[in-house]
Structure formats: structure tokens, C-alpha cells
A and B are shown apart, each in its own frame.
Chain A
Amino acid sequence: MKKKKLLSFLMGGMLSLGTFLPSANAAKIDAYRDILLSESYTIRYDNITPPPRVTNRDRMELFGKSGLSVERNDYLTNRQSSGIIVDDGTDRYEEVGDEDFSMCRLTKGREDFYFTKYKKGDSYQYFGTKENKVEANAKNYLSEVVEGQSYGDPEVSRLLKAMLPSGRKTAGQEVYSYVKGGSLPEGLSYEDYKSSNTGQTSVIRYYFAGQSLVKIASASYYRKPDGSMDGHKCIIRITEFSSVPDKSLLRLPDGVEDVTKRKEKK
């Protein structure tokens, strides 16, 4: 409840300061921005472009408790993945992976539970501190306020945070502004955004079928210290982006036990 109050206070402040960017004529993305700001949603996506390879090994390995550092997970390297993000204003769930293996984080109030979900036979097993046991970590509010909210993997986090108004971002974060929009064949339309980041050029195109966000494509490139160019592209297919949180994901999965030793409040 407090979170809701805080949100409404912040939104009120931003409206009064006129910091709701980007441009007013970018109408279709506004509905999705409002959903993110309402903190009540279910988002499901497929990351078509595998994350760039950050390790120099092709070996696959499962890591138990490695948080949602998707880019550091060998299994998810060079592999298409899917993600789920659910928020109901108090609790939150993030999952990134594929049919066989996913990294998950469930936030209950001020506690984070990190665990992995993997297929064993025909059913899923979970691993937190031990098989089917999880332990709460204190939520890291500093990283959240400095880096902004995480939405699944880092790439999708960047593409969804780009929708948020600049008043919701700290000084180090990228701010995107509307460039142009238009129509495409087969009933699709698009809106283009560009980052203000001076170090690199980043552009994002949001694709809509009617009013529905169906795809996000992004390209960024920059010049390396030796003068050569480097870049990265990413394509995300949005399979669900609704304002209704899937409450079944906002609790620990059946069979998973919370073994946190909590100090009793005096």
C-alpha cells in the first residue's frame, strides 16, 4: 500500500514538473508506459537475438544461485530465451530462460528469493540454496534506484526502461526521445526512439499490430578506443503485455520451501 502511495506521489510530482517525455504524439507507446508505471502487469517475451557471448567458452554449465545475471550464465549464452515479468505493486516475479532451464527471482515485499527452475523428467524442479529450498536475500534498493527496475534480462530491461519518462531515471541512465513513427505493410506500425547517450548511438523501434505492442528491435553502435566500430542488435517478440498480474507466479512454486532464518522483531 505504501508503495502505491509512493508511486502516486512520484507520478504527481512528475506531472507537475512536466517531465513526462518523450513526445506527446507518440501515442501508442503511452499505454504501455502507463502499464509499467502502474506497477501492475504481466509481460511475456521471446528474446529472438541471443545475448552476446561474454565468455570465451562454448561449454554449457548450470549455475545454481547466480541471480538474474543472464549475461554471465553459460547456459543462456548464444541461446534464444524467453522471459516473464509479473508485478502487482507489492510482489514481483522475473524469469529468464527456456523450456529446460530458467533463472528466477521472486520479490516478496522487501525480500528477494533467487532460484533456478529446471526440467527433471516431465516436471520442473527448483534450486535455491538447495533443491526445492530457497532463502530470502534483502532486496538491494540501492542498485534498483541507481540502475532502475530490472525487467528480465539486461537487454529487455534496457528496452522497457527506455519507455519510462526521464523523471523516473537517475543521471547515469539512458534517456530515449521520440524520433518518428509510421506505417508498415500488413497492418503494422512503428515508433522510433533514439538515446541521448553521447558515447554510443542506440535506436529502438517499437512495432505495433493495431494498438498492440508485438515486437521491439534495437541497434546500438559505438567507436572503440582503437577507432574501430562495434555494435549490437536485438529483437524481442512480445507475447503478452497486459495490466493484469498473473498472481499464480507471485508466490513460491508448489513444493518449494522457504528456509530463511528470520530474526524475530522486538
Chain B
Amino acid sequence: MKAKISAVALAFSLGGVCHSAQAEQPAAEGYRQIFQSGAFYVEYKDNYTTRIIAEKDGKRMERTNYETGMSWMKYLNPLGMLFAGEDPKYPEVLHKDGKYYQFTEEDKGKVCEDDKLDAENLNPREGWGDIGRKLALPMELALFFWEDPYRAGTTALEMPKELWSGKKTVGDKEYDCDRYASRIPSATGGEEALYIYEMLYLDGGLKKICSYVKKGEEEYPVNTLEIKKIEGTVPDGLFKISKKTKIYEAGMGDMNDLLEQPAQIGTMEGI
């Protein structure tokens, strides 16, 4: 038993990443091209939310719809909207022309310039610190677009490599599966753990991604994403802001901020 464990430890410490004979799914290359083209639309669902992330003409937007127990009712449109509420149609977060915007209501938003995002007086309650995480692709998709400027930069995870391709049954469906792994290096230069991504394809399209932390012999599940869409075509109106949306400056710890009366610095006439 001891020898077996040592062998496993050695394999991991050497970063034992091997490729199987079966090749990566052809769609994977297509997704890489979509993300690198500068125009994409991604919609996915995790355990708690449905998120949309899109990029077009140098702009990036994100919108999160929080699923609730009553969410199913909204599909009974229009009656269901009375009970479940309507999903917002405007971007929650937008980055364009060197400025970050957060829209809290359909006709209200706050703006912060790129170079002020790290300002020490920026009001931490306004959530500017989470802006980058919101606009970035989820880590499970970042392996298709590692050079994404919005990717949450961390030295803790190395670029994923393909480990294995084959079939995998999840629930009652058999998927084509590509398995990738990012090494999580240790402070001593070894390997602390692996972050495993299982990309599950059905009929040539990516349907699901399961991610795990693999430490020693154990695998610990982290995320399961259900991919609804990855397209190179961005739907019309996705970046649209209501006309006469009031734009307020980000709280910078000044008197306006303290009194919770942010200064309106203009209106946005739709995009």
C-alpha cells in the first residue's frame, strides 16, 4: 500500500500529464477561435445563477440572473412575471472606452475609470473589487482563452494541459469528454494539487463542464457548469442601455459618498 501511494505521489510530483491517443474534440478549436475573434456570447448556468458574458467591438458585458424557487414561473410569460419577476435586460457590468460601469437599475449606473479601480478611497461597498471577476470568463472556460485580458490573473494556477479524451457517462447520458488539468504549484516548486476540468460534449457541442481539485488520490468537486450557448454572434441589444440612463460617479470617500448622494455626471444615451 505504502509503495502504491509513493508511486502516485511521485507521478504527481513530476507533473505526470499524459495524452491519450484519442484527440481533443474538434469543437474545442472552434471555441478557441470564437473567443479570440473579439466577438462572443456565452451563457451558462451554475448551481445558483445563470450568467451571460459577451464581448463586441472592444466592449465586455456581464449579466447575472439569480435563480430562485419561483424562477420557473417566469416561463409562464407574461403571467409568471407577476410572481417570479422579470430577468433584467440591461448589462449588470460593462467595460468600454476605458471605463467600468455598474448598472444597479435599468436607468441608473455608476462609473469608474480603469486607472481608479485600485484607488484606496474607492468605496468598497460598491463592489468595484469584484468587477474583474464578473467580466472574466469562468475558469472552466478560460482554458479556451487563456490570454483573455479579463482573466483573473493568478500565479497559483498554470495554463491547463489536456490529460485525456474519451467517453464519460454522467447521469443517464454518455458524453464525449476532454479532461484538462492546471497544475497548482507549491511554494517549494513541487505540485500542491491539480485543478481538473472535464469538458462534456454531446453531438459535437459543449454541454457541461465539471471541475475538481485533485489532491493526492482524492478528487473534490468544485463547479458544475451547464453550457447553454457559446456563439460568435452577439444578440442585438445585449449591450443596449436605456436612453437617459443616469450615470453617477463611483464613491471616492468624499462628502458626496459619505452622504450617500453620489454626483450625477451625465446621462448615457444608449449604446
Contact = CB atoms under 8 A, between A and B. Distances in A.
Interface residues of B, number: 34
B124 A54 contact: yes
Question: Secondary structure at chain B's binding surface: helix, strand, loop or mixed?
Answer: mixed
A93 to B, nearest CB: 20
A170 B220 contact: no
Interface in A39-84: 54-57, 72, 74
Interface residues of A, number: 31
B124 A17 contact: no
Contacts of B30: none
A213 B4 CA distance: 39
B188 A141 contact: no
Contacts of A13: 9, 13
Given A55-B124, A171-B186, A172-B155, A9 B192 contact: no
A6 B215 contact: yes
Contact of B184 (A56, A138, A146, A168): A146
A110 B220 contact: yes
Interface string A220-259: 0000000000000000000000000000000000000000
Contacts, number: 87
A9 B2 CA distance: 9
A145 B215 contact: yes
Contacts of B154: 146, 172
Interface in B93-151: 121, 123-125
Interface of B: 5, 9, 13, 47, 121, 123-125, 154-157, 184-188, 190, 192-193, 195, 211, 213, 215-218, 220-222, 251, 253, 257-258
10 contacts: A6-B215, A9-B9, A10-B216, A54-B124, A55-B123, A55-B125, A56-B258, A168-B186, A170-B192, A173-B187
